[in-house]
């Protein structure tokens, strides 16, 4: 028995040592560039909501560069983003599964919050409206590889190495298989030195106008990497291209709890209130669609 115990114990120790360390406090600076085709029509127009109200969709996260700073401390993640469209802050409470989005645009400061359960319900209602418009022929909906149904992801490590923001990074491919069996591939350069707690990646959907981004692209296969993604390129729906790059990571700075407090000068409502609020206090108003 003694002869078997020693090698088994050694293997267990090596496996433990091989696990990628997880950091629970960091500040990450990221830039996202999206290139939109000239013939892209990004204005679907008004729709009818589940209660008969008129819903207009305003898509954010279009062409151009977005710079973002993500602050992580334990269960809290805050991402501040700035682009030509305005300034946006997304505060995520992973413990209570709640996301608050703050938007500064045209001199207005507004915000809305939702739990994961409420978010799922709103997505189902929106999908139903989009499907209805598609079926009656009033709207053509192009497939989006990020949001098209249930998908599976596979990570394939390939030859390649380069330094990004001072870190030695490895190359990998994330292969997505959609519900229609169609495959698409994203190129990722990742830092194998560590992962970040509750944060699969920055930039893109989580770093731009991220809406209800729960753990920043956790559903895009980044959580399967043996490290943190520092740069990635992917193709979005409607022929758009996106490139995301981390430009700086700070892990040795103390972060105060007040970083995650909601500023008092923002008018913050529940997402349900925002959806039902319209001119004159009536129903109908605006749905804000956050693109990845």
What is the overall mean pLDDT for the chain? Answer: 77
With b meaning 16 or more CB within 10 Å and e meaning fewer, what string describes 196-208?
Answer: bbbbbbbbbbbbb
Q: Residue 6: which H helix or E strand, with range?
A: helix 2-18
**What is the pLDDT at residue 135?**
59
Distance CA 43, CA 121 (A): 23
Q: How far apart are CA 216 and CA 185, in angstroms?
A: 19
| β 195-196/228-235 pair status | unpaired
pLDDT score for 205:
56
Between the CA atoms of 204, 207, 213 and 218, what dihedral angle is there, to the nearest 10 degrees? 50
- The reported pTM is 0.74
Report pLDDT for 45: 52
Poorest-pLDDT segment among 23-32, 100-109, 118-127, 277-286: 277-286
pLDDT of res. 272: 78
Q: Tell me the range of 6-10, 13-17, 117-121, 258-262 where mean pLDDT is highest.
A: 258-262
């Amino acid at each position: 028995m003694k002869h078997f115990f020693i090698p088994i114990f050694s293997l267990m120790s090596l496996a433990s040592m091989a696990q990628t360390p997880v950091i629970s406090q960091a500040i990450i600076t990221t830039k996202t560039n999206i290139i939109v085709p000239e013939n892209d029509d990004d204005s679907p127009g008004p729709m009818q909501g589940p209660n008969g109200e008129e819903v207009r969709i305003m898509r954010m996260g279009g062409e151009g560069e977005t710079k973002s700073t993500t602050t992580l401390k334990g269960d809290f993640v805050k991402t501040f983003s700035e682009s030509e469209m305005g300034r946006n802050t997304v505060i995520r409470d992973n413990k209570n599964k709640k996301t608050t989005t703050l938007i500064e645009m045209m001199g207005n400061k507004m915000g809305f919050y939702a739990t994961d359960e409420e978010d799922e319900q709103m997505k189902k209602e929106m999908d139903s409206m989009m499907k209805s418009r598609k079926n009656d022929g009033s709207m053509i909906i192009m497939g989006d590889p990020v949001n098209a149904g249930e998908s599976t992801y596979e990570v394939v490590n390939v030859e390649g190495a380069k330094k990004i923001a001072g870190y030695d990074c490895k190359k990998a491919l994330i292969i997505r298989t959609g519900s229609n069996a169609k495959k698409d591939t994203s190129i990722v350069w990742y830092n194998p030195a560590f992962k970040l707690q509750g944060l699969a990646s920055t930039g893109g959907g989580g770093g731009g106008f991220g809406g209800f981004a729960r753990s920043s692209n956790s559903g895009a296969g980044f959580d399967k990497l043996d490290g943190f993604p520092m740069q990635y390129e992917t193709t979005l729906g409607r022929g758009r291209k996106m490139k995301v790059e981390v430009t700086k990571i700070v892990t040795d700075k103390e972060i105060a709890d007040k970083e995650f407090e909601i500023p008092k000068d923002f008018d913050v409502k529940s997402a349900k209130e925002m959806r039902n609020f319209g001119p004159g206090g009536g129903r109908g108003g605006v749905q804000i669609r956050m693109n990845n």
